[in-house]
Each structure stands twice: as C-alpha cells, then as structure tokens.
Amino acid sequence: MLRDRWDSRTAFVLASIGSAIGLGNVWRFPYVCYANGGGAFLLAYLVALFIAGIPLLILEFGLGHKMNGSAPQSFFKVKKSYEWMGWMAILVGFFIVCYYAIIMSYCFNYGIAAVTQAWGNNPQEYFDKLTGITSGPFEMGSIRGPVIMGLLLSWIAIVLCIWKGAKTVGKVVYFTVLIPWFLLIVFVVRGVTLPGAIQGLNYYLTPDFSKLLEPQVWLAAFTQVFFSFSIGFGVMIAYGSFLPRDSDIVNNAFIIGLCDAGTAFLGGLAVFGALGYHSFITGKPVEAVVSAGPGLVFVTYPAIISNLPFWQPLFGVLFFLMLLTLAIDSAFSLVEGVAAGVQDKWKLSHRTVNISVALLAFGLAIPLTFGGGLHWLDIVDRFMTQFGLISIVLIECLVIGYIYGSRKMKEYVNSQSEFSVRGWWDIFIKVVTPIVLLFLIAMEVIARVKSSYGGYPRGAEFIGGWLVVILIPVVGFILMKIKRVEA
Ligand code: PFF
C-alpha cells in the first residue's frame, strides 16, 4: 500500500504545528503554570523545551521518516520484539483523545452560551452547572445532556477533517492553524490592557527561584512540553512518515517547537492578564483568585468577556471558536497516529479505522460526561502524562540512544536536513533526558505512595490511574502478538 504523503512541506509543517498547538497551549499550559508557581514554572518549561522537547521532536520525525512507518512499525523495524513500545505510545494517545474531546465539548457549550449569555456574571457557576460537578469521583451524579451532545459534535467534526487522510488534513490545517493565531493575538492585546493585568503578568513572568527546588515543578514542565509538542503519542512519528523523502527534519523541528512554545507563551500572557484583572476586581491576590485546575480557562475568560464594555457575545463566540479550531487539529492528529498504527499492521481502509477509533473513543468517554466525570478526567490526565508519557519518552531515548544508536539516527537526520545536529543531540538523548526523566518518575512514585493525587480517594486513584497505566504495556503486548496482515 502506498503511503499517504503530504502535498507540500507547508502542509506538513502546518499539520505538525496544528497537532502541537492545541488546548495544551491555551487550556493546559496556563493552569499547570498557575498551579506551579507561575514564573518558576516558565523557567523550567524553557529548560525542558531545549533539553528534551526539540531533541525528541527531531528524534520522532527522524524515526518515522527513516522507518517509513507508524510508531509500532518503526519500533518493529528497530527490533521485532519492540513493537509493543510503539503500541504503548498509541494507547496513551488514544486515552488522551478520549478526554480531549470532552474539553472540546465544553468549548462548544461555552460558545453557544456566549450567544445566549447563559454564563451571565458568574462563569464559575455556569461551569459547575454545565459539568454538574459532584463532590468526588465516586459520586457520579447524572449524565450531562449538553456535554454528551458537544462530545458527539466534536467527534463528527474530527472525523470529517480526516476523511481523506493526509490530503484533507493538509488543506484543513491552513484554517485550523491560522484562524486561532489571529484570534489569540486579539485576546492577548485585550488581556494585557485590562485594568490590573500587570499583577497577573508579574506573577507569570517573575520567577521564584526557590520553587525550582521542587521536583514537582520540573515534572510538570517536562510533561507539559511533551504533551504540547505531541511527543510520545506516536503522532509525530506517523507525521514524519508521511513526509516525502527529500524533506528537511531539523529545521522543521525547530520551527514547529518554537512556534508551539511561542503560542503557549502568548496563551499565558492572555490568561495571566485576565487573572490580574480578576484579582483587581475581586481584591484577592493573583494566586488565590480562582481555583487552579482544568476549569481555569473556563472561569477566567468568560469573566473578562462578560466584563468587556462592548461586543461580549461576539468575543465569547470568537474565544471558544479559537479553542475549538486549536483543538481540532490536535485531536485528529491523535486519531491519525492510532489509525496509522492499525493500518500499517492490518491493512484496513483509512475510513474504517478512523470511524472505529472515533466510536470507541466516544464510547469510552461517556462516563466523563457525568457529574463526577471531571474528577476522573483530572486523575486520568495526571497518570497518563506523568507516568505513561514520561515512560514512553524514556523508552524512546534509551532504544534510539543505545539499541539503534543515536549516532546512526543523527547521521540519518543530518542527511535529510539543511542544518546538522551535533554532539549535543546525542548527549541530550542518551544521558541528560533519561537521567532527568528517571529521577522525575521516581519522585512521582514516592509522592504518590505518600499521598494520593489531589487528595482523591485511593480507590479512584487506583482505577483511573494505576490500573490504566498498568494496562497500557499489557495491551501493547497483546496487540503486538496479534498476527499482522502482509500487503
Ligand atoms: N499537543 C496538543 C496540545 O497541546 O493541545 C495535544 C496533543 C495532540 C497531545 C496530539 C498529544 C498528541 F499526540
């Protein structure tokens, strides 16, 4: 079967940027940054970006391009018995897209509520009403009609975008990348010129160096970089494999990484400007104005919007349209990553695979549309990223660094690029990143043994966290053992 290919280099760069830039930049980055001390986190994020983010982006593009295959296929080509590692990446990506679509559903609902002005003057209340959030994960509450409707709409939109594979994606991304950038700039300008914004910006931009001694801040920074760059989910490996033979890798990795980080930084400016404004009107300090967590942008933004002097509904719709257009190309890249893996192995048609993935992910996310769903989302996100993602990236570094050979990969990547990577790349892949990641995983294990994440009951942490994390390598192994279909 002939591999799907991007029409042009621009299509590839935009699709990868589209995958990287998403809710991670505008929804996740601000609350993780807020919860980890603002400026201190920003500094750790920058370090993580250069020592792990960009080197791994080069590694994933190089691996996909060289092996001409999805994550499982690429690992299989490194060594047959390693195929399950690629499946692990894909499974983590699959779990992520299940809850990613839930956040998209919130965006749909907020967009509609902006027109009907349903959040009025109290967005916190609207958020609670929409999610029907209960007091804990074991209190599931009732199913939320609007959330499940939004989920359905999100999936329909995602499937339509990837109907014809790389060809449709290559066209859709012109819109899904460029529109949100334009809107984001409008919001940043608005956010930083609000009264009191400076307080928020100070919190964001002034590092508290003592915070850098907390491993937690570093763990959050590394996982945020991986999540944001779409590294460790098999997505960038698949996208690299769609790249025509004579393409540039290093240059593209730098462009994509820097655009992504730049967008997160901008997203932060807008959100912290808004927090400053919030603190100004409520008289509370910035670090205490709203509760940190996945609800942050759903509370801060509507608050600014409903306090704008004019055009509130328009700004509201635009903001949530921005979130949706940002999210959709990330969501479909996840589906593409899964689909590429399945197609490489079992030679099924693109459409069959996409629709099956969509249905399965929709079904699995149904419990998250209940009142208790947000608690589960929080737990799954935490374990998927802090354990699943970090372990996969660690495996990638070790397998390419030592088994395949970082020098061999470097030579390949350089042969495909205008700029060459040098010895620093081997050092980051073989030594620095693995040591840091091992240390961070160990610290997280210790922290979780001492106390459950976010004070959730141990049972919930076990089901939503440990169990899912343990299942991933097991299912990966089973998928590896299923017989492949030769072309
Ligand atoms: N990078 C996306 C974001 O920041 O929102 C999320 C994402 C997309 C994660 C694709 C993983 C992935 F494979």
One-letter amino acid at 84 equals: W
Residue at 119 is within a domain: yes
What residue's CA is closest to ligand 1, atom 11? 230
Helices (H), 283-295: none
Which residue among 32, 99, 322, 334 has the greatest number of ligand 1 atoms within 8 angstroms of its CB, and so is best to mutate? 334
Strands of 168-256, DSSP E = none
Whether the Cβ atoms of residue 39 and residue 207 lie closer than 8 Å to each other: yes
Category of 150 on φ-ψ map: left (φ > 0), alpha (ψ -120 to 50) or beta? alpha
323 ligand 1 Cβ < 6 A: no
Q: Is 20 in the pocket of ligand 1 (CB under 6 A)?
A: yes
- Is 38 within the bounds of a domain? yes
Instruction: Take atom 8 of ligand 1 and give the residue whose Cα is closest.
Output: 330
The tokens describing 178, both together, are 């460029």
Helix H or strand E encompassing 80 = none
Tokens at 52, concatenated = 């792990």
Name the residue at shortest CA distance from atom 12 of ligand 1. Answer: 230
In tens, the pLDDT along 341-378 reads 999 899 888 889 989 999 999 999 999 999 999 999 99
Which 3 state secondary structure label does DSSP give 143?
A: strand
Give the bridge partners for 370, in sequence order. Answer: 143
CA distance 248 to 269: 32
Query: What DSSP element (H or E) covers 210?
Result: none
CA–CA distance, 76 with 58 (Å, rounded to integer): 19
Helix 390-398 to helix 83-116 angle (10° resolution) is: 140
Ligand 1 pocket, residue 74 CB under 6 Å = no
**Relative to the CA of 25, which ligand 1 atom is closest?**
4
Whole-number pLDDT of residue 4: 67
pLDDT of residue 292: 66
Phi-psi region of 68 (alpha: psi -120 to 50; beta: other; left: phi over 0): left
Q: What is the pLDDT of residues 213-257, one digit of tens each?
A: 999 999 999 999 999 999 999 999 998 988 877 778 999 899 999
CA of 10 to the centre of ligand 1 (A): 19
Question: Interior CA angle at 139 toward 136 and 142, to 5°?
Answer: 125
User: How many Cβ atoms are within 10 Å of 360's Cβ, its own excluded?
Assistant: 13
Query: Would residue 425 count as lying in a domain?
Result: yes
Identify the residue whose C-alpha is closest to ligand 1 atom 13: 230
Contacts of 437 (CB under 8 A, 6+ apart): 52, 222, 390, 393, 394, 397
Tokens of 223: 């996982």
Adjacent-strand bridge partners of 143: 370
- Residues of the chain below pLDDT 50: 1-2
Chain-centre distance for alpha carbon 348? 27
Residue among 102, 330, 393 whose CB has most ligand 1 atoms within 8 A, to mutate: 330
Question: CB of 22 closer than 6 A to ligand 1?
Answer: yes
For residue 17, is it within any domain?
yes
Q: Is the C-beta atom of 341 inside 6 A of ligand 1?
A: no
**Distance in Å, CA 232 to ligand 1 centroid:** 10
Ligand 1 and 93: CB distance under 6 A = yes
Neighbours of 292 (CB within 10 A): 16
CB-count burial class (<10 Å; 0-12, 13-18, 19+) for 307: middle
Q: How many domains is the chain built from?
A: 1
Helix (H, G, I), strand (E, B) or coil at 370: strand
Q: Which domain does 283 fall in, by range?
A: 9-481
- The residue whose CB lies within 8 Å of the most ligand 1 atoms, and thus the one to mutate among 161, 176, 230, is 230
In a domain, 4, yes or no: no
Looking at the domain assignment, is residue 105 inside a domain? yes
Compute CA distances 26 → 121, 184, 228, 363, 442, whole Å.
Answer: 22, 9, 10, 26, 29
What's the confidence (pLDDT) of residue 1? 44
Distance 307 CA to ligand 1 centre (A): 31
In a domain, 486, yes or no: no
* Terminal CA-CA length for the chain: 7
Give the span between the Cα atoms of 118 and 139, in whole angstroms.
26
Q: What is the CATH number of the domain that holds 185?
A: 1.20.1740
Q: How far apart are CA 132 and CA 142, in angstroms?
A: 8
Q: State the pLDDT at residue 230.
A: 93
